[in-house]
Structure 1
Amino acid sequence: MMKQHTAIYVNGLHVNFSGFAAITNLTMEIRYGEVRAIIGPNGAGKTTLLDVITGKTRPASGQIYLDKMIDLSRHDEASISRYGISRKFQKPSVFEALSIEQNLELAIRRGQGYLDMLRSRLSSGQRGKIREVMELIGLDAHSEQHAGTLSHGQKQWLEIGMMLVADPQVLLLDEPVAGMSDHETQRTAELIARLRSPERVVVVIEHDMDFVGQIADLVTVLHEGSVLGEGSMDKIRNDPRVIQVYLGR
C-alpha cells in the first residue's frame, strides 16, 4: 500500500544551547514521496534540525512526529535508526580498505553481532538487494574496487548505497554535493531523482542552489531557527525576504 500521508511533522520545536536559541518555534511538515530541500545561511538551524530528528540532540520543547504517531523527541539514536531513519553527514564515511561490495555487505548486516556476522552467510535476498543498490548508485561495474581508491563523489554514492540496503523510509542528506565536480554533482542529482518513491522521503540540506533547483519538490528556508519561507524553488528565488537574508548575499 502506498503511503500518502505525512512522514515528518515538526511541531513548535525549540532547541537551546547554553542560552542560545538554535531553533525557535519551528513547525513544518514533510510528506512521503517528496524530495525536500532545506536551505539557509550558516547558523540557521539546518543541521540542528537533523540532529533532533535523529536523536543526537534533545529539544527544549516541541515534538517531531514520524507517521503522525511516533514522537522522535522521546527516543534515542538507536531506536530512531530502527524506525527507518538514516542520515548521511557531509564527509563520506566508508571502509576504505574494503571493496564496494564488502562495504554494502557490512551495511546490510548492521545490527548483527560480530560472531553472527562471521558465522552467517548472506541470503539470496540480501545478495540481490546489494546488486540492486550497486546498480542504483552507478557503481555496479566497480564492485571489487577498494573504496579508498574511489573519487570523492563515488564515496558519497557508496555511502548513500550503504543507507539504501536497509530500505530506510526517511533519508537525511547533509550537503551531499559539497566538494564534488560539476559532473559528479549532476550524477548525484540523477541519483536522488532515482531515490524518489511514494514509500520514502528524502531531505537534503544544501547550499548549491542550482542543485537544489534540480532535485527539490519543495524548498524550506530557515533563518535564525525558524521557517522564513517555503515553496517551489521559483517561489523561493523571488521571495524578497529570502533574497535579503540569504540568496542576495
Structure 2
Amino acid sequence: MSGLFSALGSFWAWITYALDPLCGPVGLFSLFGSSSLVACGDTGWGDEIALGVKVTLTLALSTLPLGLLIGFFVALAMQSKDRTLRLAAGIYTTIFRGLPELLTLFIVYYGAQILIQSGLSAIGFEERIEINAFFAGMLALSVVFSSYCSEVLLSAFKAIPNGQYEAGDALGLHRGRTMLLIIVPQLVRIALPGLGNLWMNLLKDTALVSIIGLSDILRQTGVAAKVSKEAFFFYLLACILFLVLAVVSSGGLRLIERWARRSEVRR
C-alpha cells in the first residue's frame, strides 16, 4: 500500500511539474535558459518566484470563499429586523472598511498570538506560540474582503423584489430553501460585477502578507532583488506577474458573467 501511495505521489509531482507554467518543461522561465536570472534550479530565481506565484494564488483562492461566506451573513444581518444584529453588522463593516488593510493584518497576526498565548497561559501552558503567517494573512484579508462584500451583497439583496420571497412562501418553501433556490441565484447574477472588482482588489492585497514573512510574489522578488542587486528587473517582473493574474482573472470573470446571464440571453 505504501508503494502505491509513493507511486501516486511521484505521478502527481510529475503532473505538477509538467503543467507548471513557469518552471515546467515548456514553462516561461525555462525558455530563458540556465544562465538567466529567472532560470529554474540552482542557477536562477525561477523556482522561488514560481513558489511565490503559487502562494499568492493559493492565498487569494483560500480567502475568497471565507470572505464571501462572512460577507453573506453580514449582509443578512444588515437587513435583519433585529436592531442588535444591524448594529453589530454596521460596526463590523465600519471598522474593517475604515482600517488600512496593512493595519488589519498586523492586528490579526499579532493580536491572535496574544489571545492564544493568554488563553494557554491561563491553563498553565507557557510555551511561546506563533500563529501561522498564511492563516493570519487569510483571516485578515477575509475580514477586509467580507466588509466590502457585504455592502455589494446588501445592494443586490435590495434589488430583488419582495415578491420573490412571497413566491417562495406561496410554493410552500421554507425560507431557507427560498433563499437557496430563488434568491441566491439572482443575488449572484446581480452582485457579480461588484464581486469581480473585489476579487481584483484581493489579488493586489495579497502582496501585503510579505510583511509578515509569507513567501508570496512580492517577498520572493524582493529577496531576489536584494541578493542579485537587480531591483528594477525583479520588481518589474513582479508587476508583470500581477498584471498577468489580473488579465487572466478578467477573462475568467467575463466567462462567469456570461454563464450567469445565460437565462437572460435565452429570453
**Which category describes the TM-score, using the shorter chain as reference length?**
under 0.3
Greater Rg over alpha carbons, structure: 2
Q: TM-score, normalised by structure 1?
A: 0.24
Question: Higher relative CO (CA 8 A, sep ≥ 6), structure 1 or 2?
Answer: 1
Bigger share in strand = 1
